[in-house]
Every structure is written in C-alpha cells, then in structure tokens.
Amino acid sequence: MLRLIRGGYVPAALAAAESGNRAGAHAVLAAAVLGVTPGTVVSHRSAALIHGLDLLGSRTSGSVDVTRPPGGTSSRTGRPGVGLHVATLPDGHVTVRRGLPITSVARTVVDLARTSSFLAGVVVADSALRTKQTSKAELLKVSATCARWPGIQIARRVV
C-alpha cells in the first residue's frame, strides 16, 4: 500500500498504473481522500479532471475537491489538500467513474460555473457540450434543482 495523504492509502500497483495519465493519477489521489473522508463524492475541479473536461487555469494536482451532503456530525472543514464542499446531492447528480462516486458531468459544470469566474464556467461547459458528455437540457435541469444556491445566477448565464 502507498500512502498518498495522512491516513489515505491506495495499492501501489494502482498508483503506478495510473501515473502517466493526468485523470487517472488524480483519480488515485481522490480514492485516497475518499478513504479518509466517508460519505463524500469527488466534485468540482477534481470531477472535471476525472471526466476529462477542459479547465481554465491551472491548480496543483495535489488537492482534491469533494462534496458531502449537509447534516451529520463531521466537520465542515476539509483536511489539508482537500477542498470540502457541503451541498445536497440529489438522485442523478452522482455517478461512478473509475470506480469512484463522482458528481455527474452536468452537476460538475454547474458547480464550477457557480463557484468560478464566468469565463471558467464557459470553458468547462463548452468542453462538456463539445464532447457530448452532457446536453443543454441536462445543464438546465441541474440548474433548476440548485435554484437557490449561491452563484446560480452566474451558472444560468453560463448555460
């Protein structure tokens, strides 16, 4: 076993197999994070990387974004290297990719459009639509589900 973060381990063979692939390497790191952050799903920039979506700007790959539903007794703050978001995860907003629970492409686009700049939202939305990983109808449906969330007005403009 290979330790990637404090308390987060993955099989060394898996880490070696995915090391040459940016999305795979990030998925391995996310797997270690999910192992120490129960009840969470990969989200935001991390989900976009694993889905293979284009992103504006760069960020160190040593950080993983996750979302957990509200409630429970765990802290609202993440561990070092973990961006923890607290939000509802309705049916259809979570899928499995590379064996990990991850926000759907449409939810990922809306989350990034809500929490990033307008231009960054357009870049990720364009990538998702161009590669036919989601549709405008799916983006509108997710936007409607998240109607009262912070930043949703920007996300609607992006869509």
| Segment 25-58, tens digit of pLDDT | 666 667 766 665 667 899 999 999 999 999 998 6
What are the start-end ranges of the H helices in 9-151?
12-18, 22-36, 44-51, 105-115, 118-130, 136-145
Distance CA 37, CA 84 (A): 9
CA distance 102 to 29: 13
- Please state, in angstroms and rounded to a whole number, the distance separating the CA atoms of residues 81 and 58: 15
Give residue 110's pLDDT.
97
* CA 133 vs CA 53, 60, 158: distances in Å: 9, 25, 16
pLDDT category at 156 given cuts 50, 70, 90 is: very high
Confidence of residue 104 (pLDDT cuts 50, 70, 90): very high
Q: Is 94 exposed, middle or buried (0-12, 13-18, 19+ CB in 10 A)?
A: middle
